[in-house]
Structure 1
């Protein structure tokens, strides 16, 4: 009878050289099996850049990317609650096995040994009828949730679409609270489902190829810092009304950037009607910052460029810039509040008196010096020309000094 080799119980000095000679897939497998080995694998400093998770029907795929574009993938096939298939992919090689349901602890363990603090993207391609909520409910921080469009209303019946949309919304309600950005490329049949996302407290919301009309109410309820609408149907009058609401400070006060790529060239008269827009020369070089980073215009086509630029001002004197390209793109940048803004600061009484004091002191010092010189000249002149009455002369000189010193002392006592 053969005895199994106790690999996981080897001492540190023996186990570390063994781990260094292993492939990444073997290290990951051992780190999942043993917490002790996981600590040693972390010491190997396998620093990978970011992690992506993808939910696609009955499959959960995890990809880890390194700085040199190297890719390590773990794919989990879920056929039912009892049976599933797990395989690794690295450098073109596949390793597979069957096992128990895929717990979220596997994801956390792999992120831990690869020194990844958060999930870069959680991609929802298509949600199957199998319940994946227990797997994704305990996911850590997610930088961005991406919803891909994998079904069409021309193929599926309305009832089927509503059922899939209901399952999708259940997944989104689970992952969006730990995410700061969301990108949606599908069309919701129920507009309230879309508005539930638009009202979320996100940093960035991006809608792509949304074939239903975006209304003024949809824009008005948004609470995100960055809103991008790519290839959407939007009435230009509604966009103009939204800008007017912003100028009156009646809509999203967190907004830093709005980008709208619409079908058809927008009418400048309708877009700028009633905004008191001030034209800015297109040659003016200005740096726009969004979410703390410099925001540069990304052209959709090779020949797209900004052709018009206007500034508008809100009731609290905060400025925003509207930029329009030759490819029907409208960009709206909100400038940060000035740190030197003193519009609402009450006058400082101490500073006011100090200003008067400094000017008065300087004036009286000059007068005092002039008076001393005058008295000295007066004393020398009359002492050589006339006979002096000592008591009268002393009294006169002292009185002259007091006339100058008393105002000087009064101002010092006042402050």
Structure 2
């Protein structure tokens, strides 16, 4: 195992003036096994999460005990040269603490094994089928998927199958947890072959490729499609309308109504206390942290480079417990 150190006397993100050291650690020179070594590093650095974990090749140590120490992983990547046994065991341990999982190979030997994995409570699953072209993601696979967000780079689903999935949603037969689906296809997509029988409603005249469909219980989904470089990208958003953007300016806000109450009223009208994405920029002139406290779920939280440190820290303290990906 190895640890990389970066020492920078000026700006940390810029490594032009950095010193670099790579030192291998083994049980012989440290007296620690892999699990103990990682636990010590995380403890010393006061780090409870991993930004990205890449699984490649065959590990010389039993890494699965080590993985059991991790509490949060933002991105987990399973690469082509990762052995199937190691990949499956790692997914069993890490899928519950990973915000985003990308499969560059299919480690499951049977369809039943794969569907058991799909039924897990996953947050974001990205299946990059370009790296294993013989694999076909079926309509049955899609129906059992329990991920919040599913991205199929080219799952080999044809338009008839995609339309059938939408028909199943209209009949309330789909897994309600799947909120966001992205599919790519080389078939020529139009409103007729993709949305046949769904009674779609165009969102606006200047967005002819974005549609609402609504079922009997009044729940609605948004479907968009566009052609990029000869490939069609289809997006399905369950119970999701047009994105809402809120801008707060001290010159226009009614000071008789607290900001948190104002946001609460907006979310109440929308019948939603969930935000798909929050971007924090600059230094707000209003105390928006009270408004953040009423949110029950945030899918993605981004701290931008121009966000002031004090605002970022206060926002993180409030939003981290309800945020899926930071």
Deviation track 1:304-350 (CA, whole Å, cap 9, x = no partner) reads xxx611110122211211111113100112235984589xxxxxxxx
Q: Which of 311, 316, 323 matches 2:217?
A: 316
Offset of residue 223 of structure 1: 0.9
Cα distance change of structure 1 residues 62 and 246 upon mapping to structure 2, 3 Å threshold? farther
Structure 2 unaligned blocks of 5 or more: 242-266, 272-326
Q: Which of 236, 260, 268 matches 1:332?
A: 236
Deviation track 1:73-130 (CA, whole Å, cap 9, x = no partner) reads xxxxxxxxxxxxxxxxx83333446344533233233233333231122221223475
SS at 1:329's partner residue?
strand
Offset of residue 277 of structure 1: 0.8
How far apart, in 1, do the equivalents of 2:159 and 2:3 lie?
42
Contact 1:102 1:135 in 2 (8 A): no
More helix by share: 1
Alignment correspondent of 1:259: 182
Q: Which of 67, 76, 95 matches 1:176?
A: 95
Structure 1 unaligned blocks of 5 or more: 1-59, 72-89, 152-163, 285-306, 343-415
Alignment correspondent of 1:367: none
Deviation track 1:231-251 (CA, whole Å, cap 9, x = no partner) reads 221121111111111122211
Q: Which of 118, 126, 144 matches 1:206?
A: 126
Alignment correspondent of 2:53: 122
Q: Does 1:69 align with 2:13?
A: yes
How far apart, in 2, do the equivalents of 1:186 and 1:61 lie?
25
How far apart, in 2, do the equivalents of 1:200 and 1:64 lie?
36
Q: Does 1:193 align with 2:113?
A: yes
Alignment correspondent of 1:361: none
Alignment correspondent of 2:21: 93
Contact 1:215 1:235 in 2 (8 A): no
Q: Which of 229, 239, 263 matches 2:152?
A: 229
SS at 1:127's partner residue?
coil
> Quick check: which has more Rg, 1 or 2?
1
SS at 1:315's partner residue?
coil
How far apart, in 1, do the equivalents of 2:97 and 2:239 lie?
28
Q: Which of 248, 255, 264 matches 2:171?
A: 248
Deviation track 1:291-316 (CA, whole Å, cap 9, x = no partner) reads xxxxxxxxxxxxxxxx6111101222
How far apart, in 1, do the equivalents of 2:35 and 2:136 lie?
38
Alignment correspondent of 2:320: none
Q: Which of 29, 34, 40 matches 1:109?
A: 40
Contact 2:4 2:20 in 1 (8 A): no
In the alignment of these two chains, the number of paired residues is 231
Contact 2:5 2:20 in 1 (8 A): no
